[in-house]
Amino acid sequence: MTAAVKNPIGVAAETHEVVLAADGVTKTYGSTTALSGIDIAIDRGEILGLVGHNGAGKSTLMRVLAGREQPDAGRVTWHTGGAWTQKTAADAGVRMIYQELALCPDLTVAENIALSDPSARGWSWRRRAERGVVDVLDSVFPGHGVSIVRRTSDLSMAQRQMVEIARALCTPHLSMLILDEPTESLSVNATRQLYAHLRRLTEQGVSMVLISHRMQEVLSAADRIAVMKDGRIVDVVAARQTDEDALLTAMGGEVRADTATMRRVTADGDADLRADGTVARLTGAGHDDFSVQAGEIVGLAGLAGHGQDALLARLWTNARGATVARRRAYVPGDRQSSGIFPLWSVADNLTVSATRRLAVGGVIRSTQKRRLAAEWVDRLRVKGGARAPITSLSGGNQQKVLVARAFATDAALVLLDDPFRGVDVSTKNELYALMRVEASRGRSIVWYSTENSEMAHCDRVYVFRSGRIVSELTGDEITEDRIIADSFGDAHTPEPTR
């Protein structure tokens, strides 16, 4: 249908071919209003960016637009008419790529593709699925290194993200993609490859809705950007007519992380408790020069899959060649499969690693447990509260709980595996400050991030390439340009084994 886009805030109405529209959509969960009177339309062949802080309602809106959930009020209309359900959305070629990957870990890549493809039937289903996913992966992510006969649980987070994207792109007659943080685990190069492919799809008439906390990606990829706050759309603007500061201001949060300020943050009334002494050291091939001192934040940088995860695993398991503090905590990179306990409350998830601290004579003191949970929920402003089910929280708030779990222990060493995936800039600022405060109290933090800009919050940074540490950066040496240069190094350096 051709109609004027219902766009009450921001962009002046123009004539477009609307393929999907939400009118007055409201969605509640108990006493929580997730969506409140949403009006938005998506045009054929456009990329609509959707931004907002964690808990703003973005993922709920995406599930409603994908037909996965029905609104309590209002309606969603496809351009051909009819009731909008999960089945009609699938039949129309609408696919959603989730922030929390929805792959079956015990199945191979090809089997995961076949599982979601109704046409993968008959004797040759496996061959068709294998051929389809290989063609898509090769087209979108040249040099991806994904083996389609491996179980997805054996793949790196970046490779699983590629497979999740490829699975959606294998959809016959694809008409719309809904992408929820699609690049959080991807390298810079893979991210560039993905957006180039998405733009080619829009030229073929495929529409897209893109959720991302990476403002520059949204600004460069989207045609229009809708800003959400507290379950409402508060602004809609053409991407070329706005900038990062304006978007963050509309979202209601800090405009930008101030690295210098974060470095100066200390606990109120506390002296600097940093002490001399090595908290962790690794010896052996590739790690001869790795160490972390008490009260130090050490970053692990470089292209994804080049050895950072392996180093964290060695520290966590105290593997051969490692000398590590006995008291340590770990925040995994995949919060769904190895992070949260989905049947537990926020409080239970947050305090599970602090049982030794809370127990007296082997008995956990419930009063202390409630007090500890309340302290960290308040300190990190976890939306939903301590008694809420952990699965009722947004992805960013779940990540806050996992980070709080680590710091609520008495661990001398805290290991963080890309802890800020899917976290908005305001929450990142809170967590940067938390890390600096905890380091000032004498804790050591080893932190891997796929975002090179985050390494500015570290005291030292080790850059990895092909499974080895290739440089150690300090002070003014810690820049994105230097990290990227060291990550690539000699063009003839072999890629790490998969």
The pLDDT of residue 24 is 95
The pLDDT of residue 4 is 38
Q: What class has domain 257-326+412-498?
A: alpha beta
Shared fold status for 2-251 and 257-326+412-498: yes
Q: How far apart are CA 263 and CA 193, in angstroms?
A: 34
The pLDDT of residue 489 is 67
The pLDDT of residue 319 is 76
pTM above 0.75, yes or no: no
As its CATH architecture, domain 2-251 has 3-Layer(aba) Sandwich (3.40)
Contact 465, 286 (CB under 8 A): no
Sheet holding 468-474, edge to edge: 328-331, 413-417, 444-448, 297-302, 460-465, 468-474
The pLDDT of residue 253 is 58
Domain definitions of the chain by residue range? 2-251, 257-326+412-498, 338-410
Structure-token match 């070329």, residue found: 240
The pLDDT of residue 338 is 59
CA quadruple 313, 316, 321, 323: dihedral sign: positive
pLDDT (tens, 9 = 90+) of the chain, 498 residues, equals 444 334 443 343 455 789 999 999 999 887 778 899 999 999 999 999 999 887 788 989 999 999 999 999 999 999 988 889 999 998 999 999 887 667 888 888 888 888 776 655 656 677 777 888 888 999 999 988 888 888 888 888 888 889 999 989 988 889 999 998 888 888 888 899 999 999 999 999 999 999 988 888 999 999 999 999 989 999 999 999 999 889 888 887 544 444 443 343 333 333 333 345 788 888 765 555 789 999 999 999 987 778 888 899 889 888 777 888 888 999 887 666 657 888 888 888 888 888 777 766 666 777 888 888 888 888 888 877 888 888 888 777 888 888 888 888 889 999 998 887 767 777 788 888 888 988 988 899 999 988 888 899 999 999 998 888 999 999 999 998 899 888 876 533 444 433
Q: Indicate the pairing of strand 47-51 with strand 207-211.
A: parallel
